[in-house]
Amino acid sequence: MEIEIATIGGYEEVGRQMTAVRAGDDVVIFDMGLNLSKVLLHDNVETEKLHSLDLIDMGAIPDDRVMSDLEGDVKAIVPTHGHLDHIGAISKLAHRYNAPIVASPFTIELVKQQIQGEEKFGVENDLMKMEAGETMQLSDEVELEFVNVTHSIIDAINPVVHTPEGAIVYGLDKRMDHSPVLGDPIDMKRFREIGREGPGVLAYIEDCTNAGRKGRTPSESVARRHLKDVLYSIQDYDGGIVATTFSSHIARVKSLVEFADDIGRTPVLLGRSMEKYSGTAERLNFVDFPEDMGMFGHRKSVDRTFKRIMKEGKENYLPIVTGHQGEPRAMLTRMGRGETPYQLQDGDKVVFSARVIPEPTNEGQRYQSERLLKMQGARIFDDVHVSGHLREEGHYEMLDALQPQHVIPAHQNMKGYAPYVDLCESQGYRLGRDLHATRNGNLIQLVD
């Protein structure tokens, strides 16, 4: 059976991920992501109203024109998890393919919301839920399987396409977490089985984000302990404490909510995306928040909540807000600019349960946001966080478990691939032979 891989997006950047695998006549697409930084460069761009081709020209969504060189029928579009760099282009590209979107329950719900917000294209692909551990027959000889992984968003999976020539494992976005705060540990047992059963693994596509960092990425339970230590250390403070994290990081939001309660403060989630992700997770029973906990997204209800907090005393509340990267329009930045009824004063604490995404735009915005907060007298706690991506030891372990014949680095630019290429070569792979560093828009023929 001919096996071919199209590296469509995310092979020159972090963002706009998209890869397709052809096995005989069957094609499976993994991810259709958005590179948000390419959108934010422009003022007042509303992606909901833009045409795909304009977004492709901006470098914001994958240039999927290479798909016309791939001879076969698209059988499924498979987003691996709900981060925007993996699902953010679905509303712009999926309608071009006559195939269902197959994803885990939390991811499919986020995809549904994204499609509902789309104003340019009618996306009518079927939405199909599939849980980790389940499989789906795509044709007589080709099967799709979801393996449970742990990442900085709940319900993440790594999809596997089983073919007579071996398995193709799409390994983006995970860390090796054996004690996550929400959900099951990573299913390493299954990865080891896949590496040893039948024809083994033909190809492994891997996320190189942290490949240059030694050791192992700590578990979410370590971030939770760090957060507990920080919040307990300021529990006697009788002024304002504000926290921020990734809205989509439900496990972290859950920890923040619990520790707020422990130190005698009422947690309240503020900001549009806070309300969106936590509301969705609660509705789908992924997390239990206190029944009376407030979640507000609209400007008016947020302002009303801030007024109530100021009236009843800041010492009684812990607002959990958007703005961990210093995004100019997010809640925390607005608080720093004094645009909300919540008034920071000397000694108030601001906890960033996040790390700045190392990218000049983010770094600049976050710097400005912190300056604004400090000018109001706020004291900053930063980096109360662990990454969602594998470091060196996790990469060694995955190669050992899967024993892939071919490895394809992804989710980075050439510079970002370099440490992973070195790591693979130390394990016997050779660049250009069975290790394929490539760019957007290429085809890799694995079996003729």
Q: Which is nearer to Zn ion, 64 or 173 (CB)?
A: 173
- Least Å distance between CB 388 and Zn ion? 6
- Least Å distance between CB 263 and Zn ion? 30
DSSP string of 114-155, one letter each residue: HHHH-SS------EEE--TT-EEE-SSS-EEEEEE-B-SSSS
173 assigned binding-site residue:
yes
- Least Å distance between CB 82 and Zn ion? 8
385 assigned binding-site residue:
yes
In angstroms, rounded to a whole number, what is the distance separating the alpha carbons of residues 255 and 262? 10
63 assigned binding-site residue:
no
- Least Å distance between CB 44 and Zn ion? 27
In the sheet that holds 73-78, the strands lie side by side as 127-129, 101-103, 73-78, 26-30, 18-23, 3-9, 442-447
406 assigned binding-site residue:
no
Tell me which residue of 50, 63, 65, 101 sits closest to 80, measured CA to CA.
Answer: 101
Q: Which is nearer to Zn ion, 132 or 138 (CB)?
A: 132
8 A C-beta contact, residue 85 and residue 17: yes
416 assigned binding-site residue:
no
- Least Å distance between CB 85 and Zn ion? 7
388 assigned binding-site residue:
yes
- Least Å distance between CB 11 and Zn ion? 16
395 assigned binding-site residue:
no
Q: Which is nearer to Zn ion, 149 or 270 (CB)?
A: 149
CA dihedral 272, 278, 283, 287 (to 10 degrees): -170
Q: Which is nearer to Zn ion, 207 or 348 (CB)?
A: 207
Binding site for Zn ion (CB under 5 A): 83, 173
Q: Which is nearer to Zn ion, 63 or 207 (CB)?
A: 207
- Least Å distance between CB 181 and Zn ion? 17
Q: Which is nearer to Zn ion, 83 or 436 (CB)?
A: 83
226 assigned binding-site residue:
no
8 A C-beta contact, residue 18 and residue 74: no
162 assigned binding-site residue:
no
Neighbouring CB atoms inside 10 A of 312's CB total 11
Residue numbers belonging to the annotated binding site for Zn(2+): 81, 83, 85-86, 151, 173, 411
Residue numbers belonging to the annotated binding site: 81, 83, 85-86, 151, 173, 385-389, 411
